[in-house]
Amino acid sequence: MTDDRVVAAYLIETPHSLEHAAEVIAGEQSSGTFVSVPGETVELKERYGARVERIEPRESVAAPSLPGSKPPRSAAGAPSYRRGIVHISFPLHNFGPSLPALMSTVAGNLYELQELSGVRLLDLELPAAFAQRYPGPGFGIDGTRRLAQVEGRPVIGTIIKPSVGLALDEFAPLVRDLALAGLDFIKDDELNADGPYAPLAERVGVAMYEIERAADHTGRKAMYAFNITGDIDHMLRSHDLVRDAGGTCVMVNVNCVGLAAVAHLRRHCELPIHGHRAWFGAMARDPMLGMGFTAFQKFWRLAGVDHLHVGGYGSKFYESDEEVGRSIRDCLAPMFGGYRVMPAISSAQWAGSAMDIYSTTGTMDVVHLAGGGIIAHPGGTAAGVRSMQQGWEAAVAGVPLAEYAATRPELKAAIDKFGKR
């Protein structure tokens, strides 16, 4: 990596040679177009053109992954579609340390090229100028732990369910029950922002009243991530509302508001930002299209989120446990010497999920979110919370779950209910 170029790694598929396809990407995303133009001098291309740095050939396939690609006119017979990883570098002075301009460059029109039947951004190497422009997470792992008053174990949390539709008189006792149960973290669902059935301004007041009252009994104040997703002005006002009410976290659907909005919120923010990745599947689910999580999370860490959703082990969603584990490690890997964010693990989680998470990642620096795994526990919400803590104790100690549960009824009940799914 150099201080004057961005290097992007792509998985591509093409009916052309890998070399030709890579050069087309480099031209399209820098100084080139479909035909030479008078101003495109050798000197300009040398200074502003993208470069193909390395090509790693992979397998070939008989059919294209995506529609709309066109083989070379000279091709005889059925085309073969070649796959490979190509590394292309872009001069930083083409766009400067700007996240929106970076996105336009490394993940812009290249997805529409006819020479490609598949293209996926895998990873990025970024110059230090981005760290100078974007301070990254304001709280990260250490700040989250401090505010949540949690050390030596994961932050255990849940999501308000039903996702939408709870009136304030239904919402209040649910928050009370969750806070009294000893949860570290509670969050709004990504669908619940500022609906008329429970406007955000009123919801914040109700939730913080219940959380503060519960803290008088438990000695600890649960962190609540209020969903402030909306226009920029709305998010800034909502952040201030949460802060002034004594709240300790805000949540944003990052893909839905965009990089510039999150970066602007980060500059204003005095609370941790919980980053929900709704819409991520649209760009990542097809393995030959879009953007992988390794590249994705770098954008949002720079923009300034403190937590970022990574999926869940044994979840209801499409990602494998291996992919989720890799995403957790991505979030925890240092970037510019820091910028670590806390992975948020959710979807069909329960006490037993801790065994796989810890055995494959070796970390407790996660927000582990369980909905039904806590709220639907046979012993009630408090027993559900305790079962989650016990599951992590077993995982860290290296003791089989059933053995650890023999003297812990909360964990035993969780295994009986959720372990046979």
Number of domains forming the structure of the chain: 2
67 in the same domain as 85 = yes
pLDDT for res 35? 61
Average pLDDT by stretches of 10, the chain with 421 residues: 90 98 96 71 89 98 97 82 99 98 98 98 98 98 98 98 95 97 98 96 99 97 99 99 99 99 99 98 98 99 99 96 98 97 98 98 99 95 98 98 98 95 59
193 in the same domain as 165 = yes
Last residue of a domain, one of 117, 133, 149: 133
Domain that holds residue 100: 5-133
381 in the same domain as 288 = yes
pLDDT for res 1? 55
Give the CATH number of the domain where residue 117 resides: 3.30.70.150
29 in the same domain as 127 = yes
C-alpha distances (whole Å) from 268 to each of 45, 50, 143, 240, 264 are 40, 35, 17, 9, 7
Q: What is the pTM of this model?
A: 0.96
156 in the same domain as 103 = no
359 in the same domain as 239 = yes
**E strand segments, 137-180:** 155-159
Last residue of a domain, one of 133, 157, 192: 133
3-state helix, strand and coil shares in percent for the chain, rounded to the nearest 5: 45, 20, 40
Give the CATH number of the domain where residue 375 resides: 3.20.20.110
Q: Which two tokens stand for residue 393?
A: 């104790």
Furthest-apart CA atoms within the chain: distance in Å: 79
Q: Which two tokens stand for residue 113?
A: 């090229």
Q: Which two tokens stand for residue 263?
A: 């970066």
63 in the same domain as 188 = no
> Tokens 């930002």 — which residue?
273
- Say if residues 345 and 312 touch (Cβ distance below 8 Å): yes
pLDDT for res 281? 98
pLDDT for res 8? 99
> In this structure, how many other beta carbons lie within 10 angstroms of the beta carbon of residue 252?
30
187 in the same domain as 64 = no
204 in the same domain as 80 = no
Last residue of a domain, one of 133, 167, 196: 133
pLDDT for res 39? 75
127 in the same domain as 167 = no
118 in the same domain as 13 = yes
- Say if residues 208 and 175 touch (Cβ distance below 8 Å): no
Q: Which of 143, 128, 126, 185 is nearest to 341 (CA)?
A: 143
Q: Which of 334, 333, 286 is nearest to 11 (CA)?
A: 286
164 in the same domain as 268 = yes
